[in-house]
Every structure is written in C-alpha cells, then in structure tokens.
Amino acid sequence: GQSLEQPSEVTAVEGAIVQINCTYQTSGFYGLSWYQQHDGGAPTFLSYNALDGLEETGRFSSFLSRSDSYGYLLLQELQMKDSASYFCAVRIQPGGYQKVTFGTGTKLQVIP
Amino acid sequence: GAVVSQHPSWVICKSGTSVKIECRSLDFQATTMFWYRQFPKQSLMLMATSNEGSKATYEQGVEKDKFLINHASLTLSTLTVTSAHPEDSSFYICSARREGPMNTGELFFGEGSRLTVL
C-alpha cells in the first residue's frame, strides 16, 4: 500500500519560520507537491519537487529527498493569512496511469 | 493561470435522488481529471481518475456504479452520485492537470461541490 504522513497540527508565531514534514511510502513515485487549503475552500498549489533538493518560491520553499522518501515545506515570515491546512501529495504511477494522492494534512495556526 | 470550474457549488437533495456535478477546464485541455472527496477536517481522498474517451479508473473501495464518471470531452468531466443517501454528504472536488510541456506538476482544482443529502 501507500502512505503519506504529516503532523496533524502546528502552531507558530507571526513572523517566524515553520517547517512541515512529510514522509511517504509508495511505488511508482514521480514527485511531491504541496497544497494549501483554507477552510471551506479549494486547495491551491504551492510547489512541486520531482528531483532532490530545495525549490524556493517567495516565502515558501519545498525540499525533497527521494532516497529518504521525505520532504518538507518551509514557510518563512509567517503571516496570519498563512493559517490553513497544508497537504503534501505524491504523484505516482503505480500501474498504467498517473494519479495524485494526498497526505493526512497539517493544520497550521499562526498566532500573533 | 489555468482555471477549472466546478458546478454546482452547493446542492441539497432528497435521499434516493441522483446528483450530477460538472467539472470544466476553461483554458486548457485535460485528458485526465481527478475526483476527490473530502470530509470535514480530513484529507482529500482520491475517488477516481477520469480519462477522456475511456472508462474512469476507480480507487479501491469506491463503487463505480454509485459514482458514475463521464469524461466526454477534453474540457468536461462529470460525476453523478446515484441514489444518494445521507452518508454520501460530503465535499466533492475535481482537479485537472495541464498536459504536455506546460505541465508543472500542478493540479488545478475546481471550487468544489458541497453535497447534502437529506
């Protein structure tokens, strides 16, 4: 089977840095994505890592280690609006087609 | 950026009726669309992969006769919840991926459809 594990909740202070980890077990791995979802809304794309290393997009960075089946999302200069749920998602092709499955999600609360 | 539109946003129906949800990619063609289901405070669960011109691929445990998926064109996929019951009440959300050289790995999501079955 496959699994993606994330911490369920994280609390951080406005202006700080927070790291959300994701470990996965799957076959046919293509890449790891991160999505943000505010309550009641649709997920929005943050980043995608197909290769090992760090990808930086503004205040957000994402890291992947394929050998460790591990990745993380790094949020810098936290703002109150960053309070949301964050999901890692793996793009896999276990058989003849590709699909994207999501992790358990991490609820981030940013406090003043 | 690419836009995916989903309709309706909200639907309330009586038990035993069927509900159709549409998912459209507005500015790109999508040979593949994904349908997810999300319960409150939980993750997105992949229900099926919708393939243009062919049968959908359902995830284990998802009843294909219950959740009918049709992907008749490169811009439209539909999910029909047949004979809906209260336990089918959930947030259903579709997504699509831009194919070809423009593919960045990003999934573009529709706005979601909140189904309530009375």
Beta strands (DSSP E) in B26-65 are: 32-38, 44-51, 57-58
Most confident of A65-69, A90-94, B2-6, B26-30: A65-69
B68 has a pLDDT exceeding 70: yes
| C-alpha A59: how far from chain center | 14
> pLDDT class for B2, splitting at 50, 70, 90?
low
User: Mean of the pLDDT values across residues A76-101?
Assistant: 91
B48 has a pLDDT exceeding 90: yes
Closest Cβ opposite residue A100 in set B34, B51, B112: B34
- Residue B31's pLDDT is 86
Could you tell me the two tokens for A30?
């293509």
Beta-carbon separation of B57 and A97 below 8 A: yes
| Alpha-carbon gap, residue B49 to A97, rounded angstroms | 9
Angle (CA) B60 B66 B68, round 5°: 90
Contact residues on chain B for A97, CB-CB shorter than 8 A: 32, 49, 51, 57
Chain B nearest-CA residue for A94: B59
- Annotate B66-92 with b (16+ C-beta within 10 A) or e (fewer): ebbbebeebbbbbbebeebeeebbbbb
Helix (H) or strand (E) holding B116: strand B113-117
Contact residues on chain A for B49, CB-CB shorter than 8 A: 97, 99
| Alpha-carbon gap, residue B10 to B112, rounded angstroms | 8
A35 in B contact zone (CB under 8 Å): yes
Both ends of chain B: CA-CA distance in Å? 37
User: Mean of the pLDDT values across residues B38-67?
Assistant: 92
User: Mean of the pLDDT values across residues A48-61?
Assistant: 94
Beta strands (DSSP E) in A6-83 are: 9-13, 18-25, 29-37, 44-49, 53-57, 60-65, 70-75
A21 in B contact zone (CB under 8 Å): no
- Residue B103's pLDDT is 64
A94 has a pLDDT exceeding 80: no
> pLDDT class for B102, splitting at 50, 70, 90?
low
B100 has a pLDDT exceeding 80: no
Contact residues on chain A for B95, CB-CB shorter than 8 A: 43, 100
Q: Which residue has the higher pLDDT, B61 or B102?
A: B61
- Least Cα distance to B112 among B35, B14, B51, B15 occurs for B35
Could you tell me the two tokens for A100?
């994207």
- The CA-atom distances, in angstroms, between B34 and each of A35, A104, B63, B89 are 15, 18, 16, 19
Beta-carbon separation of B109 and A42 below 8 A: yes
Beta-carbon separation of A91 and B105 below 8 A: yes
Contact residues on chain A for B45, CB-CB shorter than 8 A: 102
- Residue B35's pLDDT is 97
Q: Which residue has the higher pLDDT, A9 or A96?
A: A9
| Alpha-carbon gap, residue A74 to A82, rounded angstroms | 12
Residue type, A78: L
